[in-house]
Amino acid sequence: MTRLRLLLGDQLNIRHSWFASVDQDVLYVLMEVRQETDYVLHHAQKILAIFAAMRDFARQLAACGHRVCYLAIDDPENLQSLPANLDRLIGQRRIETFEYQAPDEWRLDRQLDDYAQGLGLPVRMVDSEHFLTRRDEAATFFATRSRWTMEPFYRHLRGAQDVLMEASGRPTGGRWNFDAENRKRWPGHPAEPPELRMSHDHRELWASITAAGVRSFGTPHAHDLRWPLNRDEALQQLDAFVQHALPHFGDYQDAMSADASRLFHSLLSFALNVKLLSPREVIDRAQARWQAGDAPLAAVEGFIRQILGWREYVRGVYWARMPGYAGSNHFGHGRALPAWFWTGATSMNCLHQAISQSLEQAHAHHIQRLMLIGNFALLAGLDPQALHRWYLGIYIDAFEWVELPNTLGMSQFADGGLLATKPYVSAAAYIHRMSDYCTDCRYRHNQRSGELACPFNALYWDFLAREQARLARNPRLAMPYRLLERMPAAERSALHEQAQSLRQNLETL
């Protein structure tokens, strides 16, 4: 009996139980299809890295003796969609059983489930064997709770997975969370670790992608692609991170600098999200560095919280709330994204740096995404769905299950507070405190009004005033609302007028 097993581009886990033995009655199928390149406009490096990693994975499977069918983007027989290609292969290869791993994105899960129901063959969906929780585990955990905040779920998983726990059941170090210690500005030392990721030359593949008509944006760096394309490279990157960067990750995880785009971040999210690495092994490697005395507990806990806590949590939110979650727009925002989101050509140096870096590297760390780009988008009233599509396209690690809750919930508060306990907005003072971006900016971070005043300031205070009825009772916003109440009426009016002018002239900022 010939079985066709479909592998998606983010299912590159060579340690999956499917591959434990070789069965010549099994045909593994991987496809490069326009369906996946075109549903949003993607960064060139994202398309290139995923296709290159898929090709490497197919070579690994074939080298191990597995039967593999690989459809390249420019294959004349490629019908450019999963169902159409599956139909053709099932007919040509006389397939009797169809199997696939559970997709991580709702649209693919729905598409493959619909396809399977109409196929007329035995179908089996298996687990991807990657995540530490089930799709529905967060929903079950929060079923009797009034709020879906991450912290209790994180503590639950710490105990369930025995991560940074004492034998008594208490957290290591007596605290669950060391976030308060991880908010330092980077003074320029210790030095950013050297770039140790392997370089790949994929100009030929990039030529095939563009010749096939695939549209993209951002810099491809096809001659010097730095993302890991197989498990061995991902493990080398993990080793380099825990040795050189993890000891300082905690202190400077929120810091931003024009002189160091990577700072002490791992850049492992791409390898994790296409499943070259498992979250458990990354967590274990970080925990081992603390146990060996090579990294402080605050740094290790902060890093592990992003993977064991946040990553598993947002996946749970995604599966509990889709598909309706995608349309969330609590504040009713609808302004178009300015054209400089695709060029970085803005006089606001912080946004110029963050967006230009994203276009150049297909990556920015969480504070750049949240407290610069997302902060501005929320204050300016940009369309959260348009912003979601931009985030989904531009970042190498952006797959909808993780990106959508981060954008609509954490960044834009579009879900009305299901995920975040407050809107993550700030004036320029925060940006000045955590970065060196304000030094070379046209605007003045310490001015609220006037031609040279930082746009974040007027937009921030006007947002709070505009949304006072919705937000004033939020205890985490008590201090800024007290300051707003004490502000003279004339100053509030001037800030409102300035904010209105800024929103009407976003393209020229």
Q: Note the pLDDT tens digit of each residue in 149-159.
A: 999 999 999 99
Q: Are both 189 and 244 inside the same structural domain? A: yes
Per DSSP, what are the bridge partners of residue 435?
A: 256
In total, how many domains does the chain have? Answer: 3
Task: Give the CATH number for residue 32.
Answer: 3.40.50.620
Instruction: Confirm whether 373 is domain-assigned.
Output: yes
Q: Are both 122 and 145 inside the same structural domain? A: no
Q: Which domain holds residue 295?
A: 137-220+228-321
CA–CA separation, 68 vs 54, rounded Å?
12
pLDDT greater than 90 at residue 473:
yes
Which runs of consecutive H residues, i.e. helices, occur in 64-148?
82-92, 106-117, 137-141
User: Which pair of structure tokens corresponds to residue 469?
Assistant: 């009825």
User: Which pair of structure tokens corresponds to residue 458?
Assistant: 């007027």
Instruction: Give the residue-averaged pLDDT of 208-220.
Output: 97
Instruction: Confirm whether 334 is domain-assigned.
Output: no
More reliable by pLDDT, 180 or 391 = 391
pLDDT the model gives residue 25: 96
Helix 279-291 and helix 231-240: axis angle, to 10°? 30
**Do the beta carbons of residue 396 and residue 45 sit within 8 Å?**
yes
Instruction: Confirm whether 333 is domain-assigned.
Output: no
**Do the beta carbons of residue 393 and residue 41 sit within 8 Å?**
yes
Task: Give the CATH number for residue 413.
Answer: 1.10.579.10
Instruction: Confirm whether 234 is domain-assigned.
Output: yes
Instruction: Give the residue-averaged pLDDT of 484-502.
Output: 95
pLDDT the model gives residue 340: 98
pLDDT the model gives residue 73: 98
CA–CA separation, 174 vs 167, rounded Å?
12
Instruction: Confirm whether 50 is domain-assigned.
Output: yes
pLDDT the model gives residue 259: 94
CA–CA separation, 244 vs 251, rounded Å?
14
Q: Are both 79 and 188 inside the same structural domain? A: no
Other Cβ atoms less than 10 A from the Cβ of 494: the count is 15
pLDDT the model gives residue 1: 63
Closest CA to 111 of 78, 85, 131, 138: 85
Percent of the chain exceeding pLDDT 90 equals 96
Instruction: Give the residue-averaged pLDDT of 494-498.
Output: 95
Instruction: Confirm whether 77 is domain-assigned.
Output: yes
**Helix, strand, or coil (residue 162):** coil
Q: Are both 258 and 365 inside the same structural domain? A: no
Mind listing the pLDDT tens digit for each residue in 118-136? Answer: 999 999 999 999 999 999 9
| Band of residue 383 on the pLDDT scale cut at 50, 70, 90 | very high
Domain boundary (257, 290, 321) is at 321
pTM, rounded to two decimals? 0.96
Mind listing the pLDDT tens digit for each residue in 291-328? Answer: 999 999 999 999 999 999 999 999 999 999 999 999 99
Q: Are both 378 and 300 inside the same structural domain? A: no
CA–CA separation, 347 vs 206, rounded Å?
32
Instruction: Confirm whether 38 is domain-assigned.
Output: yes
Domain boundary (260, 286, 321) is at 321
Task: Give the CATH number for residue 269.
Answer: 1.25.40.80
User: Which pair of structure tokens corresponds to residue 197?
Assistant: 């990721």
| Band of residue 198 on the pLDDT scale cut at 50, 70, 90 | very high
What does 269-326 look like in DSSP terms, one character per residue? Answer: HHHHHTTSS-HHHHHHHHHHHHHTTSS-HHHHHHHHIIIIIIIHHHHHHHHHHTTGGG
Q: Are both 211 and 155 inside the same structural domain? A: yes
Q: Are both 346 and 311 inside the same structural domain? A: no
- For tokens 């005043």, the residue is 453
Instruction: Confirm whether 131 is domain-assigned.
Output: no
**Do the beta carbons of residue 51 and residue 73 sit within 8 Å?**
yes
CA–CA separation, 228 vs 197, rounded Å?
7
Helix 106-117 and helix 82-92: axis angle, to 10°? 40
- For tokens 């992003």, the residue is 306
- For tokens 């993990």, the residue is 238
**Helix, strand, or coil (residue 435):** strand
Q: Are both 84 and 154 inside the same structural domain? A: no
Q: Are both 419 and 294 inside the same structural domain? A: no
Q: Are both 351 and 406 inside the same structural domain? A: yes
- For tokens 């210790």, the residue is 190
Closest CA to 101 of 77, 74, 81, 126: 126
Count the alpha carbons within 13 Å of 421 in the hemisphere toward its beta carbon.
9
**Do the beta carbons of residue 229 and residue 237 sit within 8 Å?**
no
Q: Are both 113 and 160 inside the same structural domain? A: no
Q: Are both 117 and 173 inside the same structural domain? A: no
Instruction: Give the residue-averaged pLDDT of 389-417.
Output: 97
**Helix, strand, or coil (residue 208):** helix
Domain boundary (94, 126, 158) is at 126
- For tokens 């009772």, the residue is 473
Other Cβ atoms less than 10 A from the Cβ of 436: the count is 20
Q: How far apart are the first and last CA of the chain?
A: 63
pLDDT the model gives residue 139: 96
| Band of residue 338 on the pLDDT scale cut at 50, 70, 90 | very high
Instruction: Give the residue-averaged pLDDT of 218-231.
Output: 97
